Amino acid sequence: MARTSTSSSGFTLIEMMLVVALGLVLAGIALPNLRTMSQSYRLSAASAVVTSKVHQARTNSLKRNRPAWVLVDGANRTVQVQTAGASGPVNIGGPEFLPTGVVFSTGTATATVSFDAMGRAVNPPQTIQLQYPGSGLTRTITVTSTGRVTVN
């Protein structure tokens, strides 16, 4: 006598629809948070780049015993360390570009953070502000008279 099985294995259509709906709800909650996290990460990376260039300028002013500065170019979204040379400014290394979406609050203008030959900031406190437009995220990099750099 042959035995017949009436049970079947697998998922019903209702169970699959429930799993898909739950996945869509979770994705809807996660995507805005991922965007904010990505913007925050880019802004943090940009502030690290600018802070590094400020430290590099101060170190070069001490090492070369001559003024050095960080040139902030808002139009090109770059930071460049320069020092005084015999025939004008001399670039130290190459320019660093900001991550996509991050801009200087100065807009397209240029600004500098300068150090004298002793590594002291000229006209302290000096600030550079970075922002991610449309998100409300900003970072302010401040250089004190002693050359200390803080990021808020």
Which pLDDT belongs to residue 99? 93
| Mean pLDDT computed over 40-51 | 95
Q: Inform me whether the pLDDT recorded for 30 exceeds 90.
A: no
Place of tokens 């070369």: 64
Which pLDDT belongs to residue 7? 64
Helix (H) or strand (E) segment spanning residue 32:
helix 13-64
Q: Give percent of the chain above pLDDT 90.
A: 74
Query: Which tops the pLDDT comparison, 30 or 76?
Result: 76
Q: Inform me whether the pLDDT recorded for 10 exceeds 80.
A: yes
Render pLDDT for 63-73 as a digit per residue (tens, 0 to 9). 999 999 999 99
Q: Which residues touch 60 (CB under 8 Å, ≥6 apart)?
A: 68, 81, 83, 92
